[in-house]
């Protein structure tokens, strides 16, 4: 479906075009993002404008924002110029990038395929060279997936490092602000503005953990991706940095609360990596619970027109009962977080830049 709200030349990426100039009073040439343009996912508040959250009924029933997202303010203060807001999946509850109301942005990398979501328009705006970088959010892959689909760079920092104030919540336990760029130089320039990290704290990695079982699930052991990654890490950081590990076994050994859920699988339905299946289930249940807490009242009151697929997902979340063992799931999450921090040798307040380069898990 064509995006009726955007021009024909913008690949359907934009919800609304407008210009927000740099806000700093310093000499623009001295600012870190001077000369760069950016787009904003329609989940970030901008004072005086309605935040649409991907759905026309949401936009119709909400007043203009009273304040602007600190992330948007920071990029403007750093010298960047915003060119408008971008389309997103409704209520951020999808990963495809399709929007039944405003149209699906065209993937410049593969025009016949979806762009990925929920930050679809933000990814497309960058991939189509309409802006230099863009802001998105990632709860379960909503920056990483569209970046991969559109052939650009996308960064989801560690949870909690970048402010989510004045960003409509999907599930706060997992919501993360991220950004897109076509090149690593621009991605890094934005990171230096938005991440609380100094160059002195970014160190050479001592360990890169590569989970063989995850690659086996993906079928990548047969296409040599796993072998190429091992060789690349060894060449870049030295063979001593390579740490091959089965992530499923690591979770089973270090997340004790998970064991009773693994025991619930019958022999016939046992997945290839049971621990990862349980972690995935726990994440989806906690996400659904928070989405319900955030938006059930609005959905039940307004009964919004939601697109196919999304409609069923939202109402399933709203109708979910209170019989799920959420306390057990919270315990699993806490144990999993602690185990990964130990595995990655993460120190308190370590930035995502350090985590990404000091110890990476590919899965």
Active site residues: 41, 118, 142
Instruction: Evaluate whether 51 touches 4 at the Cβ level (below 8 Å).
Output: no
- Terminal CA-to-CA distance of the chain, rounded, Å? 33
For 318, other C-beta atoms within 10 Å of its C-beta total 16
Length of the chain measured in residues:
363
Which sign does the torsion angle of CA 4, 6, 10, 11 carry? negative
Which residues make Cβ contacts (< 8 Å) with residue 228, sequence separation at least 6?
none
Picking from 271, 33, 13, 53, the residue whose alpha carbon sits closest to that of residue 152 is: 13
Phi then psi dihedrals of residue 291, to 5 deg: -60, -45
Spatial distance between the Cα atoms of 206 and 158, rounded to a whole number of angstroms: 19
Retrieve residue 261's tokens: 């859920």
Instruction: Evaluate whether 35 touches 79 at the Cβ level (below 8 Å).
Output: yes
Retrieve residue 123's tokens: 């990814």
């Amino acid at each position: 479906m064509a995006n009726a709200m955007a021009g024909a030349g913008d690949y359907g990426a934009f919800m609304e075009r407008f210009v927000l100039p740099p806000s700093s009073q310093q000499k623009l040439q001295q600012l870190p993002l001077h000369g760069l343009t950016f787009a904003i996912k329609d989940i970030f508040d901008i004072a005086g404008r309605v935040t649409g959250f991907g759905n026309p009924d949401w936009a119709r029933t909400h007043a203009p924002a009273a304040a602007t997202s600190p992330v948007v303010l920071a990029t403007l203060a750093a010298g960047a110029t915003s060119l408008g807001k971008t389309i997103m999946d409704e209520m951020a509850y999808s990963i495809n990038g399709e929007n039944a109301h405003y149209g699906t942005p065209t993937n410049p990398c593969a025009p016949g395929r979806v762009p990925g979501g929920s930050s679809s328009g933000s990814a497309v705006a960058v991939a189509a060279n309409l802006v230099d970088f863009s802001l998105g959010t990632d709860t379960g892959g909503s920056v990483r997936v569209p970046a991969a689909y559109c052939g650009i760079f996308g960064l989801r920092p560690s949870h909690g490092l970048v402010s989510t104030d004045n960003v409509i919540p999907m599930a706060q336990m997992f919501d993360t602000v991220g950004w897109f760029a076509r090149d690593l130089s621009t991605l890094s320039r934005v990171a230096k503005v938005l991440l609380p990290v100094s160059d002195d704290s970014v160190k050479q990695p001592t360990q890169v953990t590569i989970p063989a079982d995850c690659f086996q699930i993906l079928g990548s052991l047969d296409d040599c991706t796993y072998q190429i990654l091992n060789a690349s890490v060894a060449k870049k950081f030295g063979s001593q940095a390579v740490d091959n590990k089965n992530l499923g076994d690591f979770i089973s050994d270090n997340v004790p609360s998970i064991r009773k859920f693994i025991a619930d699988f019958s022999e016939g339905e046992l997945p290839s990596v049971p621990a990862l299946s349980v972690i995935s289930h726990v994440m989806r249940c906690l996400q659904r619970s928070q989405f319900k807490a955030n938006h059930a009242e609005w959905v039940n009151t307004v009964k919004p027109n939601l697109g196919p697929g999304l409609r069923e997902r939202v109402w399933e979340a709203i109708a979910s009962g209170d019989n799920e063992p959420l306390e057990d799931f919270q315990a699993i999450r806490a144990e999993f977080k602690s185990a990964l921090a130990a595995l990655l040798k993460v120190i308190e307040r370590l930035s995502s830049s350090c985590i990404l380069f000091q110890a990476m898990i590919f899965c």
